[in-house]
Structure 1
Amino acid sequence: MMSEIFELGAVRVNVRKLTLTHSTQPIVHLQNKPIEVLHFLASQYPRLVSRDEVIAAVWAGNYYVGDKALTNVVWQLRHQFKLLGLSDVITTVRKKGYRLEIAPVWKQAAIEPDAVRTPENITQQLSLADSDQLLLKDAPAKVSELYPVKNKTVRSPLLFMLLFGVCLTTWLLWLFSIDSRQLSFGAYHVESVLEGSGRAMHPSLSPDETLLAFSWQRFGQPAQLYLKELNASSAPRQLTFEFFDHGAAIWSSDGLHLFSSRIAPDDGRCSLIMLTLKTLEVKELAMCRHYGRVYLNVSADGRYLAFTGYLHGDANSLYLIDLDDSESKPRRWSCPDLCDGMVRDVAFSSDGRYLALTRRFHRLSEDIFLYDLHQNSVSQLSFGEEDIIGVVFHPDNERLLYATFKHGQRQGYVYDLAQNKIDPLGVSNFGGHSAITRDGEVYFHQLPHSLQLGYVPWQPQAPAGVFPLTASAHRFEMPNFNSARQEITFVSNRSGHTELWRADPDMQNKRQLTHLASGIKYPQWSNSGDYIVFVSRLPSKRYDQLMLLQVDTGKLTLLNTGLQWHSRPSFRADDQAILFSSDGQLHQIELHSNRVQQLTLDGGLLAQGLPNGDFLFTKGLNQGLWQRHADGSERLVLDATSFSALYAWSYSDGILAYLQHVEDKLSLAFYDLATNQPLSSIVLPNENIAMYNSLSFNADIQRVFLEVEPLPRIDLKKLMHPLLK
């Protein structure tokens, strides 16, 4: 058996500790898979090893997971060895595999204190086990495997003490919601900055650290910009008074201006603005994507405003405005490498050396990339994140603070650039955050509640409201009802991961359908109720896939479309093909032949099959509802004045249900497609229902299932944390 320690040139590899060590460089901490791949290649030296062999050894032959993951892992290893001064450690032989180019020198591992299996270690391992899987009757066997005890008179008391410690630890963790990282790094402290009605979001700290700008949406009003003095008890001061919704703001380096985006609620028109604080004068700088969030930052020297989402350019790029030139037009930043994916958040280091970008590859995949502006080089920092909701440099320029939304949970992390190490903050509901103060404090918005499911009863000519179906700390979203099964499918993080579930119409008899531990979106029943199609991304994949679940057997099939983006799938009426959107156009994949066909050329976002073989679909913003016939011709069913929904609509038995903005109100409208007549309309609370959420209508049971935000409240907090000191 080979040792767990070996040397490659001047670098020592410790498999158990997951580290690479060089005498003149900081220790590099790796994850399990890179270390396993490196160890396997070393064990096979100097042989050329095929990809299939590596996947079999490291991923237990799971080709779907291992294929893309292996490419990423090899890239990570090469990158880390390059930082440690070793190049060409792993050679790729095209279409054949990989080979280690440096002979490993195996070392005998010394016995280290933390390698001894002590009762304390056992207690820790058992306390981390899944409480649903670790049964009391199984505990003695598990303990004896970890820590054999030959004296039977000693075993029972020891087991009792261990099990009592496990139960006590688990109970205390549950009772007090203590995070394990908090125990490791010391207690953090959170203070309230602003609480109350509405959504207070995107705190932005002034350069002198005395003022906090933020976006605040009060009930029934558009989001406006506000300013709060941090060292005073006075109420926040309102800065904008427009009918636009204002997004996140960023300060100019002199603290005299705020840069932000604003969106017109009626047509989604977006513009980038500069607000002068002394006069509250607003100047429009550029246009941005309709209904799209704009991420922006100011360069370290204060000269350039960097932003994403330019209306007249490539949405994948970053754009710069020269603030020293009042007539400056946005120009595209020249990306040196690793330029795939849509640029979202952006952050400059205060010394002007680094630019951090987050790039989204689809709704379930986004990662952080670090660009060295001095050396014109780039490295990928994170792998396999689902949704990154903020990134900022620490004042020491050696750490990054970022937040993610994954499996329905918002979490914050600190990335140590020198040690290539990531530590979680352990703060619940950690949302978008401000710059970090010189004392290591940070302001953030906290979202204390999760999406829930509800329904609106459809009773023509009768008033109705929203009735709750769930009330939980877990998320319940994306409902879809099936008449044949009389069941609803939905997505929830109830198990700890975002998985697919099913239940009765009143959310009784809940059953988990998948155990993928990956992101899942947009589930849709087949008309027969035999299948559910959804979009997912396996943990090792950069891009998403269409997945088909056979409900009764649990069999999962990956539908190979050859495309990288998939959105909002649905079945044709005969269940022989699946309609889906990719890059803003409708496609279909035939299930018997796997033939993929693009159906539209001028827009297609969501489709629903009709019994005659036609389908209804939306093209884009303010383009109404359309019908596509079997011969490929199209007709407008409802124009933009009567129908403004993109995704929040559903067809059942000749009746269309959809969300519609009427002036400043949100309504649920019903329309008879046979007579081309409106039926009824129900006013819904703007604060609890979003136009972009999913809904599912069934005429037989006269219900519209939808997503509900039970308490639309977002608060501002201040965090003091040992990891930020």
Structure 2
Amino acid sequence: MIEIKKEAVFRLGECEVNPNDNSLNFSACGDGEDNSSKISVQPKFIELLSYLARQYPRVVPREELIDKIWEGNAYVGTKALTNAIWHLRKHLNPLLEGEQAIETVRKMGYRLLIEPVFDEADLVDEPDLYQQEQAKVEYLTLFNRRLVTVSLITFIVFCLFSVFHFYQDSIRYSPTERQQLTSAAGAELYPAVSPDGRWLVYGSRSKNKRTSLYLKDLLKPTETPKRLTSTKTSEYRAVWHPDAGALYYPSEQKGKCSLTVLNLDSNEATKLGACYSDTAAIDISPDGSSLAYIWNEGNGHHSGIYQLNLKDKDAEPVRLSCAENCGSRDRDMTFSPDGRWLAIARRFGNISEDIFIRDIETGKETRLTFGLEDIRGLSWHQDNERVIFSTENSGVRNGYIVGIDDKEIHSLEVEGMSYPRSIPNSNELVYSNYMRDYQIASFALEQSIPTATFPLLQVEYSYRNPDYSAAAKRIVYVSNETGFNEIWSSELDGGARRQHTDLKRRVAYPSWSHDGTKVAFLAPDDKNEGNKIHVLDINTSNISILATPYLDHNRPSWGWKDEMVLAKTDDGITEFYLDNRLPKVISSINMRLGKMIDADKLVFTQYSRKGLWMLSLSEPEAVSQIIESKYFDEGYNWVATDKGVYFRESGSRYQLINFWRFNTELVTPILKLPPSSIPRSGAMAYIPNNNSLLITLSENYKRDVIKLKHKLLH
């Protein structure tokens, strides 16, 4: 067999790749980006390119590249690989006159499309694999003969040692196995298997628009799941009592939430107290003595974790979460199997969330992660030493496992994993498969022939949250093309795309200044414990951070003369200044999104009240309602124009884009879309040049419950 040296120099077309000094030499290239340039790139980029060249023309799986280049560190390598491919294409694509130099083979891996040319001196003979194996066999035979002379005890120890390593290898090389447990039409979320392993409970939306709990017998997979709860109430997540005889869950009816226990033998449901919502996190201690759940008791504090003693019928829930001046908010939690720990998902800002563990006896907490984005479910491994979780990074959901001692994070490489839950007394888990891609779509208004939405970009990456500048004549948006959510912009037709940030961490919600020279956006702070308002100068690419004492800021928008940026903070509607002055609170209103429509008028939505509202910056106490709540119940998907307001109306079976006209105060439906087409966290922009709308659309795949067997779970 012939093997190529790892450090071998080779050519791609007219360009030389030198792994010894990590360079791409375009000096002899007629079509390169610089006919006399020698470019130095990161060593990992050259190592990756060299490996693809040595494997040419084979399609190399992503897992193999991460294993060879990043030593199997999937948590780092997944994003680093995407980033490296992007940079290599940037340098090499000119060799193919605009075509991709490295091909992405979907769901398989990557393949180099330029044939590499190596020097014959770098080709070495390698012993035939059969000869190698034959030599190993001969050596082992001789070794076994010599073992006859050792003592019986040594031989037994050797056998036990061999059996142990054989077992470890069987685990290490065991394939990932996925078994689909549900297949009904709808969205199955928050799965949990009973302690005896027989029953699966999950939440799903039924035909009458409400969510209900369903029970499936895993020993009879072909039988139709049984609906457990009423069609007049709404339930989504439940936990099992340790004896498998009862389920605990939050239940909503007519806007009121009740913490409920259902006896499965008698089918009797009993209310235990008030709760937060039907999707609020809940878990039960391993001995069945107490419940932990997310609640807001309405005393002015934000929601948090409460614990209820189930042994005392008169017990009141006790708050475990911080109540005042916390700087964070607890969103999810789960008990460890031995009852010692409580794992907690804690949000610091709207784009920053991390995992802590709390010693239940002492109350002492330890932080496990730093810089996660959006945690979608927590569960403990049966060994009490690792926490399994799902998180969404740059628009992609995946599963991970972190050790509570070493705090090392390992990727399960299960794209779409949400709300994982360990199966009791097992090394397997169940999760909800949830995959959603985002794209920016354009919709022409007031056409003689009705039209549908058209994607702005035909690409495999996710794009979202567009904003348009009439002054710059460009669209700004967020894209995960490099493996990280970054700020990009394009022309109206999607052409002339430009990447404006390279922060390699989550950025969100870009907003153009009125003069088209700057973009305000949110990005995590240095400690990944919140977010700051960043301002990008389009002409210089400089990024500044606006002075603020706050940990968390909501979506930014610009003042009429671009002298300041408006955003919601814990104190209300706040002005942030470009000259580094401290911000000023102008109103205590809990604003979601605001937009200036003239020099003094701010139009906005609120967290606590439906409808569209307006106030005067000069008289902020003078607040008026523009659109009544019966017509308008939207947070972010709306845009104000000279003539009126375009906004999303969301129902269970469809979505509408409506237009509310200022002069008539009438609502007119413009476009009807399937349900969940426009995500709740999306954005809407108006383009006056061609009288069209830009919206964020999502491809919402059907969500099913999956059982997972994985080598990292052993």
- When normalised by structure 2's length, the TM-score is 0.74
Residue of structure 2 aligned with 1:331, choices 302, 314, 318: 318
Residue number among 164, 183, 192 corresponding to 1:204 in the alignment: 192
2:707 aligns with one of 710, 714, 718? 718
Q: Which amino acid aligns with 1:705?
A: L
Tell me the residue number matched to 2:561: 574
Match in the other structure for 2:168:
none
* Cα gap change, 1:308 to 1:488, in 2 (>3 Å): same
Q: Output aligned runs, 1:441-480, within 5 Å.
A: 441-459=428-446, 465-470=452-457, 472-480=459-467
* Alignment match, 2:666: 677
Residue 387, structure 1, aligned to residue 273, structure 2: no
Tell me, what secondary structure is at the counterpart of 1:631?
A: coil
State how 1:392-431 maps to structure 2 within 5 Å: 392-431=379-418
Mapping of residues 251-266 of structure 1, within 5 Å:
251-262=240-251
> How far apart, CA to CA, are the structure 2 residues paired with 1:269 and 1:122?
67
CA distance in 1: counterparts of 2:497 and 2:233, whole angstroms? 41
Is structure 2 residue 319 aligned with structure 1 residue 440? no
- Aligned mates of 1:171, 1:274 — CA distance in 2: 60
> What CA deviation, in whole Å up to 9, does each residue of 1:182-214 have, x standing for no partner?
995533222222346432222111111111111
What amino acid maps onto 2:189 in structure 1?
Answer: M
Relative to structure 1, is the Cα distance of residues 387 and 597 closer, same or farther in structure 2, using a 3 angstrom cutoff? same
**Residues 584, 238 of structure 1: CA spacing in aligned structure 2 closer, same or farther, 3 A cutoff?**
farther
Query: What is the CA-CA distance between 1:360 and the residue it aligns to?
Result: 0.7
Tell whether the 8 Å contact from 2:651 to 2:675 is kept in structure 1 after alignment.
no
Matched to 1:260, the amino acid is Y
The yes-or-no answer on 1:542 pairing with 2:529 is yes
1:347 to 305, 321, 334: 334
Of the structure 1 ranges 242-251 and 577-586, higher mean CA displacement relative to structure 2 is found in: 242-251
Change (3 A) 1:656 1:419: closer
Q: Does 705-714 or 329-338 show the bigger shift? A: 329-338
- In the TM superposition, what are the counterparts of 1:266-345 in structure 2 within 5 Å? 270-289=257-276, 293-313=279-299, 314-315=301-302, 317-333=304-320, 340-345=327-332
Q: 1:668 aligns with which of 654, 657, 682?
A: 657
**1:529 and 2:495 correspond:** no
User: What's the CA shift for 1:256?
Assistant: 2.4
The answer to whether the Cα contact below 8 Å between 2:466 and 2:683 also exists between their aligned partners in 1 is yes
- The yes-or-no answer on 1:142 pairing with 2:21 is yes
Q: Distance in 2 between matches of 1:667 and 1:336?
A: 39
Residue 551 of structure 1 aligns to which amino acid in structure 2?
Answer: I
Letter of the structure 1 residue corresponding to residue 205 of structure 2: Q
Kindly tell me: are residues 272 and 568 of structure 1, through their superposed partners in 2, closer, same or farther at Cα, counting changes over 3 Å? farther
Post-superposition shift, 1:452? 2.1
- Spell out, residue by residue over 1:426-464, the C-alpha distance to the aligned partner (whole angstroms, 9 max, x if none): 222222111244331111122233122223332289755
Letter of the 1:717 counterpart: I
**1:509-531 C-alpha deviation (Å, 9 max, x unpaired):** 32211100111111111122111
* C-alpha distance in 2 between matches for 1:474 and 1:162: 22
Matched, 1:490 2:369: no
SS at match of 2:16: helix
Residues 610-665 of structure 1 deviation map (CA, whole Å, 9 limit, x = unaligned): 12421111223443211112322221212211221122211122320112247965
RMSD over aligned Cα atoms: 3.6
Q: Distance in 1 between matches of 2:325 and 2:601?
A: 42
| Counterpart for residue 158 of structure 2 | none
State the AA in 1 paired with 2:176. Answer: Y
Give the equivalent residue in structure 1 for 2:205: 217
**d(CA) in 2 for partners of 1:375, 1:161:** 49
| Residues 161 and 366 of structure 1, relative CA distance in 2, 3 Å threshold | closer
Is 1:704 the counterpart of 2:690? The answer is no
CA distance in 2, matches of 1:309, 1:683: 36
User: Counterpart of 2:137?
Assistant: none
1:190 and 2:76 correspond: no
The aligned runs of 1:556-567 (5 Å cut-off) are 556-567=543-554
Identity of aligned residues (%): 24
The CA deviation at 1:579 is 1.0
Cross-structure match for 2:684: 695
- Which of the numbers 218, 222, 225 marks the counterpart of 1:230? 218
Separation in 2, partners of 1:362, 1:531: 24
Give the partner amino acid of 2:226: R
Q: Name the residue aligned to 1:97.
A: none
Instruction: Go from structure 1 to structure 2 and tell me whether the alpha carbon gap of 1:419 and 1:578 turns closer, same or farther (over 3 Å shift).
Output: closer
Pair 271,135 (structure 1): closer, same or farther in 2 beyond 3 Å: farther
Cα displacement string for residues 43-81 of structure 1 (whole angstroms, at most 9, x for unaligned residues): xxxxxxxxxxxxxxxxxxxxxxxxxxxxxxxxxxxxxxx
SS of the residue aligned with 2:436?
Answer: coil
Following superposition of structure 1 onto structure 2, how do residues 642-657 of structure 1 map, counting pairs within 5 Å?
642-657=631-646
**For this pair of structures, how many residues does the alignment match?**
584
CA separation of 1:336 and 1:694: change in aligned 2, threshold 3 A: closer
Q: What is the SS of the residue equivalent to 1:321?
A: strand
Seen in structure 2, the aligned counterparts of structure 1 residues 530 and 323 have a Cα distance that, compared at 3 Å, is same
Larger radius of gyration: 2
Residue pair 1:566, 1:581 contacting (<8 A) in 2 also: yes
How far residue 696 of structure 1 moved from its aligned partner, in angstroms, is 2.0
Give structure 2 stretches of 5+ with no counterpart: 25-45, 73-171
Q: Does 1:631 align with 2:631?
A: no
Output one character per residue of 1:341-367: Cα deviation in whole Å (capped at 9) or x when no partner: 211111111222111112110122211
**Aligned AA (1:167):** A
User: Secondary structure at 2:556's aligned position in 1?
Assistant: strand
Paired letter, 1:702: N
Change (3 A) 1:319 1:172: farther
Correspondence for 1:240 among 211, 229, 242: 229
Contact persistence 2:534–2:543 (CA under 8 A): yes
TM-score normalised by length of structure 1: 0.73
> How far apart, in 2, do the equivalents of 1:162 and 1:491 lie?
27
